[in-house]
């Protein structure tokens, strides 16, 4: 891995503290950092280098998955950190930053490889990219890369606008759009599961698969994020990015070779085949929900519209379920269902592949029927894969019952999504970052849904906190003869 400068905008923020510093530290412990590197934190407040290093150390003590030892090794890590106060909206500040980066490059004998990480509010993304270009920060003899956080736009038009602005300063292959679901070990494992197992590869299509169900349910409510969430809703917060990324990873077809370009090509093809809904069709395929009062783990919880910071008349979606169709040769006629929401019964992210049960009549008797084979990819909170098969139970007179074969690839010490993604970005591997084509096609699919929600043209279903969403979400599957697993 090449030596480089890591320039972090928003270094005093929440994400830096909870995810980015711990990721860098754990990469360091795993000897996955470059041989030489400088880390420059930037923020609005004024801090000395020492104060910043203390801030990083405190963050690690609270959030790192491995403990911080006060030893020479830790000293080695922390000494790479420097801080500069910089108002991202002031172009002249970037000149000072360039001088400082160059000074550190000289001190540490670093090539001019620069990774810029924008961990700041999205309204600054375009300004920062422009200032990086205009100040000369982006004119390097080595490589430059830009990592940006979500959200990437708030609708199709604003996403396109942002992309046009970013592309004035960075080429597509220099932009790493983080979707942290793509860093989750089991989401990354989907590709291997589908393609490194000829048995699964052979049946990964419409001939054998009855439907696909992708669930991402949370127990928590809006917490202290109402300012953002009441504007975004589940559709922008989860569906446009994470849910559609998981759908792409599940539905993509075998690439010619396992490379970033080929995999992203296959993902794009899935999105190009995704059937677009007109605004008028949204109501038939999408369920929009909002949580009502209810009970979570025996404790009463309030309804969404009385949560702190939420508009009392808010029609914001805290739950979305959808039925999607991929109109290509592999998936024609196979419904893909997604559902995601807050204040649901369990915290779980999983993908369930339900296989067609073609031989069920053969075994069907009055008191026995065979269950469909299910392949379940457990993404969080626990990682693993399970496969449901039918088997005779000798203790019940040979009655056929479903049994489950489980495996967890790794049980302990699984690296966090941010570690995996940062390591990839340091190496220049963009496989598990969202390409602009994927982002744009996702917004295209979401846009009529946003409009139907905004016009209130489809009902807002309420669901009791602590349930698995509105009844209408169950009916959506019943229409095709299925139910949620």
Closer CB to ligand NAD, 21 or 304, in the complex: 21
Q: How many other CB atoms sit within 10 Å of the CB of residue 268?
A: 18
Give the residue at shortest CB distance from ligand NAD.
13
Q: 3-class secondary structure for 438-470?
A: HHHHHHHHHHHHHHHHHCCCCCEEEEECCECCC
Least distance (Å) between residue 55 CB and ligand NAD: 10
The response to whether 44 counts as a known ligand-binding position is yes
**87: annotated binding-site residue?**
yes
Nearer to ligand NAD, 44 or 475 (CB): 44
Binding mask 108-137 for ligand NAD (x = CB under 6 A): -----------xxxx---------------
With a CB cutoff of 8 Å and minimum separation 6, the contacts of 271 are: 244, 248, 437, 438, 441, 442, 445
CA dist 285 and 433 (Å) reads 28
Considering the complex, state which of residue 87 and residue 272 has its C-beta at the smaller distance from ligand NAD.
87
> Which among 439, 438, 421 has a CA at the least distance from the CA of 145?
421
Q: Which of 55, 154, 242, 378 is catalytic?
A: 242
Residue among 118, 119, 122, 152 nearest 439 (CA): 152
Shortest Cβ distance from residue 17 to ligand NAD (Å)? 8
Q: State the minimum distance, in angstroms, from the CB of residue 335 to ligand NAD.
A: 30
Of residues 465, 471, 476, 475, the one with CA closest to residue 218: 465
Residue 242: active-site member? yes
Binding of residue 392 to ligand NAD (CB under 6 A): no
Site for ligand NAD in 33-92 (CB under 6 A): 43-45, 86-89
* H or E stretch covering 177: strand 175-177
Give how many residues touch ligand NAD by CB under 6 A. Answer: 20
Q: Are 215 and 339 in contact (CB under 8 A)?
A: yes
> Which is closer to ligand NAD, CB of 418 or CB of 453?
418
The kind and range of the H/E element at 74 are helix 72-78
At its nearest, how many Å lie between ligand NAD and the CB of residue 289?
23
Among 6, 131, 149, 217, binds ligand NAD (CB under 6 A): 149
Active site positions, annotated: 242
List binding-site positions for NADP(+).
10-17, 44, 87-88, 150
List contacts with ligand NAD (CB under 6 A). 10-16, 43-45, 86-89, 119-122, 149-150
């Amino acid at each position: 891995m090449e030596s480089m400068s890591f320039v972090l905008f928003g270094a005093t923020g929440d994400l830096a503290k909870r995810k980015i510093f711990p990721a860098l530290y754990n990469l360091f412990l795993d000897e996955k950092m470059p041989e030489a590197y400088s880390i420059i934190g930037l923020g609005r407040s004024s801090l000395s280098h020492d104060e910043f290093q203390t801030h990083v150390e405190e963050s690690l003590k609270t959030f790192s998955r491995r403990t911080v030892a006060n030893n020479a090794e830790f000293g080695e890590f922390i000494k790479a950190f420097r801080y500069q106060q910089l108002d991202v909206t002031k172009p002249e500040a970037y000149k000072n930053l360039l001088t400082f980066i160059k000074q550190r490059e000289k001190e540490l004998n670093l090539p001019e490889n620069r990774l810029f990480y924008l961990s700041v509010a999205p309204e600054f993304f375009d300004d920062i990219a422009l200032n990086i270009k205009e100040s000369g920060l982006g004119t390097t003899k080595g490589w430059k890369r830009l990592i940006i956080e979500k959200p990437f736009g708030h609708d199709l038009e604003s996403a396109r606008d942002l992309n046009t602005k970013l592309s004035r300063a960075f080429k597509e292959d220099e932009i790493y759009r983080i979707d942290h679901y793509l860093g989750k070990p089991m989401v990354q494992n989907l590709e291997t599961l589908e393609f490194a197992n000829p048995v699964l590869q052979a049946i990964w299509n419409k001939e054998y698969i009855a439907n696909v169900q992708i669930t991402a349910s949370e127990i928590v409510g809006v917490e202290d994020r109402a300012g953002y969430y009441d504007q975004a809703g589940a559709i922008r917060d989860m569906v446009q990015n994470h849910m559609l990324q998981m759908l792409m990873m599940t539905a993509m077809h075998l690439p010619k070779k396992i490379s970033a370009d080929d995999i992203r090509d296959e993902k794009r093809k899935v999105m190009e085949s995704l059937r677009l809904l007109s605004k008028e069709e949204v109501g038939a395929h999408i369920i929009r929900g909002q949580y009502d009062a209810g009970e979570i783990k025996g404790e009463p919880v309030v309804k969404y519209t009385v949560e702190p910071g939420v508009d009392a008349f808010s029609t914001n979606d805290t739950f979305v379920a959808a039925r999607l169709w991929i109109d290509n040769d592999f998936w024609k006629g196979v419904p893909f269902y997604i559902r995601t929401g807050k204040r649901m019964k369990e915290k779980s992210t999983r993908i369930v592949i339900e296989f067609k049960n073609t031989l069920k009549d053969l075994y069907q008797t009055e008191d026995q029927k065979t269950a469909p084979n299910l392949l379940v990819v457990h993404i969080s909170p626990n990682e693993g894969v399970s496969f449901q098969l039918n088997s005779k139970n000798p203790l019940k007179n040979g009655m056929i019952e479903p049994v489950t074969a489980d495996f967890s690839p790794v049980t302990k010490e699984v690296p966090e999504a941010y570690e995996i993604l940062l390591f990839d970005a340091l190496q220049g591997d963009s496989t598990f970052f969202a390409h602009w084509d994927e982002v744009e096609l996702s917004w295209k699919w979401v846009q009529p849904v946003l409009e139907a929600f905004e016009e209130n043209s489809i009902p807002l279903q309420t669901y009791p906190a602590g349930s698995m969403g509105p009844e209408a979400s169950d009916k959506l599957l019943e229409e095709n003869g299925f139910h949620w697993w």
